[in-house]
Amino acid sequence: MKVTDIKGKYTLEVSPNGTIVQEMQKGFWTTDDFKRFQADYVSKIAPLVKDKKWAKCCDVREYKTSAITSELQAHTTWAATIGLTTGAIIATSAIVKMNLNRGSVNTVTPTMFDNEAAAISWLESQGYKKYFFVIYRGYHSFF
């Protein structure tokens, strides 16, 4: 499933059987932007990952430092209650990395990466899956 923000601030993507939620954030965020993000997580992403051990892979290379630290902390705390255990952040800006580290909480501490391939590889080495390969009655499928 892929969710795209109506104002283009983010995309969220997860396979129905996957355990890695991929996020991409852009620009400066307001609290209204964050409310849409949280609402999409609650209604569209949470049903796919709830009660699983899952991880985030957040690409914030186009994100600008925004005054939403308390919202980030609340979201991370909530996500941990439905199974979030770790995260990978793809960032090149030291200021963005610092801002997002302030948004982390004791229950989930992200690991920083410079590119998506390294982030996904690390998450998969930790046991998370972007897609599951399923064989059903002789048919092969990637989710």
State how many domains the chain has.
1
Domain range for 72 is 2-142
Helical pair 94-103 and 69-81, crossing angle rounded to 10 deg: 50
pLDDT digits (tens, 9 = 90+) for 31-77: 999 999 999 999 999 999 988 999 999 999 999 877 888 898 899 99
CATH (domain of 84): 3.30.750.24
Look-up of token digits 């998370």: 128
Determine the pLDDT at residue 140.
42
pLDDT category, 82, cuts 50, 70, 90?
very high
Using CA atoms, how far apart are residues 77 and 134, in angstroms rounded to an integer? 32
SS3 at position 109:
coil
pTM tops 0.75, yes or no:
yes
CB of 126 closer than 8 Å to CB of 13: no
The helix (H) or strand (E) run that includes residue 119 is helix 116-125
